[in-house]
Structure 1
Amino acid sequence: MALNSIVSAGRQGASNNKLVSRFLDVISRTWDLGFTSFGGPPVHFQILHSRFVDGKGKTPWIDEQTYQELFAVCQALPGPASTKMVFSIAMIHAGILPATLVFLIWSLPGALGMFGLAMGVQRISEVLPSPVYALLSGLNSATVGIIALAAMQLARKAITDKLTRILVMFGGCGGLLYNALWYLPVLMVVGGLSTLVWDCWGQTQAQALRQRLKRRKSEPSQLEENISVPVDVAQDASESAAQRRVKSTATSHAGSGKEERNIIPPAPVETHQGYATKWGIVVIIVFFAFFITLMTVRGVLKHVPLPLAVFNNMFLAGTIIFGGGPVVIPLLREYVVVPGWVSPRDFLLGLALIQAFPGPNFNFAVYLGGLALDRTSTALGSVLGFLGIFIPGMVLQVGFQTLWRALRKRREVVSMLRGVHAAAVGLVFTAVYRLWEIGYLTPTESSGASLGKEPWWLAVSAATFTLVEWYAVPPAVAIILGGVAGLGWWGAIKPW
């Protein structure tokens, strides 16, 4: 018994040491993300890819195919897309507890900044100084340039064939033509079904051609050579992007005189998701039970306390928002401005400044929650906004990611995610247009106007795009330079 106790204690100590080492590992790789991740979700995805797939001189946490699959899953589920992405990557690498710490490292710096902004906005006058409007317009212009660049970079990875090229265009144009809560998920579902049908058709064609080859084995070899080309093409149509890359690598090695057996496949990624599939189902069921209860209580009460109403609206927004930060802005406007909790001017002021804050755009809910309650309850409102907007997406991500280990082995699921990914990237181009149309703030246009009304903002956007793409200027620096350019423009021509 004593020996068993010693062995058990030793195992417990080793387990604790391993958990501590995982905590230290994620801290060392993510401690700065909450302070340096500027530019919104499209830029965040590039930062995460560079750090955890490319590695930046360190060991990658996930491979390219896993990253692309996670991107599609995060876009297909409600909630903050880039936040779910960094949480999922950390969960795969180190487990749920270290991933929760990474979520706090990622989101809290920007949340605290938005809380401070809410406290400050409550004390400012109705009309802002003229240079402030120019500063905010410059920040928005620079952000448009960075998001446009991120959309282009994401599209390069999402486009693997002619169909996905069409789906990126389909998502972008579809998002421009109409806007509703149900609409964006439908666009992504259509994209997923399109690739599923396309890949199934390609597989069927490949099988038919194989049967034709079997029937013609007795014919001259020249005929087989003529038929072998369409067989390869049909097989390629049913392969994933990752399989095609491996095949291409093998072909290049064979062409250089090396045998295929000498090609060393990438090492498997170590994971720490030690949770049974049934727990994922339990998490999802509990979440929806809580959601239904919350909505029922809100509907039954005749006089809903304002703190409960704020949490309820934020929780509902976090549950039904698909597409991440660019989509949350118009919905939150309906949930806080229309009820009269936040003025249109304060909403747009926060909208301009959130672009200059690091971390997720969903921290905008922290700012709005703080303004919705009176000055003595700003902290409570901000906490309710933070919890309400983040809990739904994070809980659903935990539940679904547990199921994903089984689902990702199914070819049809991977095929659908390829289309979901392409359509979701198209929606990023939509976000560029929507921010462009409300980014210009003036004393007389406090509700926001198109940046196209002043050519200077187009120049700022183009310069930001160029600096970040070709001269490796950090996005945070580029956004600050955009604000400086706005102030310089105001100082030169004094438009107001």
Structure 2
Amino acid sequence: MSMTNAPTTSDVDRSGRGSPLEVLLVFLRLGLSCFGGPIAHIGYFRDEFVLRRRWIDEHAYADLVGLCQFLPGPASSQVGFSIGLMRSGYLGALAAWTGFTLPSAAALILFAYGAVALGGPAGSGLLHGLKLTAVAIVAQAVWGMARTLCPDRTRASIALAAALIVLFSTSSVTQIAAIVVGGIAGLWCCRDGAKAAGGDVEMPVSRNAGLLALAGFVLLLAGLPILRGLTGSANVALFDAFYRSGALVFGGGHVVLPLLREAFVAPGWLGDDAFLAGYGAAQAVPGPLFTFAAYLGAVVMPEPYRLAGACLGLIGIFLPGMLVLLGALPFWSSFRKRAGAQAVMRGVNAAVVGLLGAALYNPVWTTSVHTTHDFGIALVGFVLLVAWRAPPLLVVAFSAAAGTAMAMI
């Protein structure tokens, strides 16, 4: 199937809801192979669930990505959580999060226990090759989504404006600003388009459940510091530090690192050396960067919390993003069916393409492609994905092998 033939609503799999086990196995494979950070994960998910399995159509997927970019928390994990929820209800959502999170969390816990990190030319070449995989994955996502979601000059211009907003600013807030600008521009300029092809995605979350989730989000955000002061419990203090970091970060991924450093290094719970060592290890594993919390929870002082601390960290940092997502989903579904809302979402979808395009350059390209050899490896990966329809795992294996070989020559 060519990149111009992205699935429409009629192409989406209507054979019935899947089982939580099916969702778990699919996301476990993705959790083992999704290198490159949240932007690359969105590309992997698009390839798996829009193009291959057809669990969701292109427009609904882009709308979902736009929503998750608006919300605090790990955007790619929220997208995966939503897809699992759509496919198999709440158990499917839990299965999606578990499958996608477990591999990297387990690897970072092992690192915290003293596992030897990759070293030498072969190890550094392997890690660099995996970063080049992200270049190919993100480039494929930009290519395919631009053809589908920016088919005219108006939306192409919105995408360009969003990309420039992000490229010319170093603040993470500009990602949200770019999406807001895209939505406003869509409301003004994209009312004449056809009705959105997507829109029939059903999320099994009632409005009451959504309001309850939002109430839980706010209650924990406001109540944990109070409980921490009243009890003096180290466990509550640790959970509060993780929860607050996850609740106050927009954009996910690397944006959470300054918050985590402030929460753990500044109070003396962890030294800078140990913090940076864990951060380096987090770059070498697939899956969400938020699993860095598993490492921090395992090594935090005054005494190592080990596995219990790792679990506390994972739950604490992911929980706020999932609660606010559950709170937004019921209202998002009705919002996007309105004519004005569809115009807004056309603009938002175009802005998402611009965000992906900006991220393709910085940080994906700027931190990965340094030589003509790097460009060649990334280009081969891109052609394998687009022209040969190769599975992403094959591209991961090729790039890792090529990166290792170039480092050894």
Please name the residue that 2:401 is paired with.
Answer: 484
User: 2:175 and 2:210 mapped to 1: Cα distance?
Assistant: 25
SS at match of 1:95: helix
Matched, 1:361 2:316: no
Match of 1:406 among 318, 329, 334: 334
| 1:75 Cα offset (Å) | 2.0
SS at match of 1:179: coil
CA contact (8 A) 1:35 1:110 kept: no
Alignment of 1:49-448 (within 5 A): 49-54=46-51, 56=53, 60-121=54-115, 128-199=119-190, 237-242=192-197, 271=202, 273=204, 275=206, 277-295=207-225, 305=234, 308=236, 310-325=238-253, 327-328=255-256, 332=260, 341-343=271-273, 345-354=276-285, 357=286, 359-373=287-301, 376-432=304-360, 433-439=362-368
Over the residues paired in the alignment, what is the CA RMSD in angstroms?
A: 3.5
CA contact (8 A) 2:24 2:95 kept: no
| 1:487 Cα offset (Å) | 2.6
| 1:185 Cα offset (Å) | 1.4
Unaligned stretches of 5+ in structure 1? 1-21, 203-236, 244-267, 440-450
| 1:469 Cα offset (Å) | 2.5
CA contact (8 A) 1:75 1:421 kept: no
CA contact (8 A) 2:214 2:323 kept: yes
SS at match of 2:318: helix
* Paired positions, count: 387
CA contact (8 A) 2:23 2:88 kept: no
CA contact (8 A) 1:336 1:342 kept: no
User: 2:300 and 2:375 mapped to 1: Cα distance?
Assistant: 34
Q: Deviations over 1:298-338 (max 9, x none)?
A: 6x689894x65553343233223333436445655665567
Please name the residue that 2:392 is paired with.
Answer: 475
User: 1:282 and 1:365 mapped to 2: Cα distance?
Assistant: 26
User: 2:377 and 2:266 mapped to 1: Cα distance?
Assistant: 33
User: 2:253 and 2:262 mapped to 1: Cα distance?
Assistant: 15
Question: Between the two proteins, what is the percent identity of the paired residues?
Answer: 28
User: 1:381 and 1:172 mapped to 2: Cα distance?
Assistant: 39
TM-score by length of 2: 0.80
Letter in 2 for 1:426: G
| 1:345 Cα offset (Å) | 4.7
User: 2:195 and 2:271 mapped to 1: Cα distance?
Assistant: 49
| 1:291 Cα offset (Å) | 0.5
Unaligned stretches of 5+ in structure 2? 1-15
- Shift in CA distance, 348/390, structure 1 to aligned 2, threshold 3 Å: closer
Letter in 2 for 1:367: Y
Q: Deviations over 1:229-259 (max 9, x none)?
A: xxxxxxxx2544429xxxxxxxxxxxxxxxx
Please name the residue that 2:4 is paired with.
Answer: none
Please name the residue that 2:42 is paired with.
Answer: 45
| 1:397 Cα offset (Å) | 1.1
| 1:284 Cα offset (Å) | 0.8
Letter in 2 for 1:85: V
CA contact (8 A) 1:142 1:478 kept: yes
- Shift in CA distance, 459/318, structure 1 to aligned 2, threshold 3 Å: same
User: 2:301 and 2:392 mapped to 1: Cα distance?
Assistant: 33
User: 1:63 and 1:455 mapped to 2: Cα distance?
Assistant: 36
- Shift in CA distance, 81/428, structure 1 to aligned 2, threshold 3 Å: same
| 1:31 Cα offset (Å) | 1.3
User: 2:135 and 2:21 mapped to 1: Cα distance?
Assistant: 31
CA contact (8 A) 2:186 2:343 kept: yes
Moved over 6 A (4+): 301-304
Q: Deviations over 1:172-222 (max 9, x none)?
A: 2222221224332122112111111224xx5xxxxxxxxxxxxxxxxxxxx
Structure 1 stretch 159-168 or stretch 93-102: which is displaced more?
93-102
User: 1:184 and 1:272 mapped to 2: Cα distance?
Assistant: 26
Structure 1 stretch 89-98 or stretch 45-54: which is displaced more?
45-54
CA contact (8 A) 1:342 1:371 kept: no
User: 1:374 and 1:463 mapped to 2: Cα distance?
Assistant: 49
Letter in 2 for 1:483: A
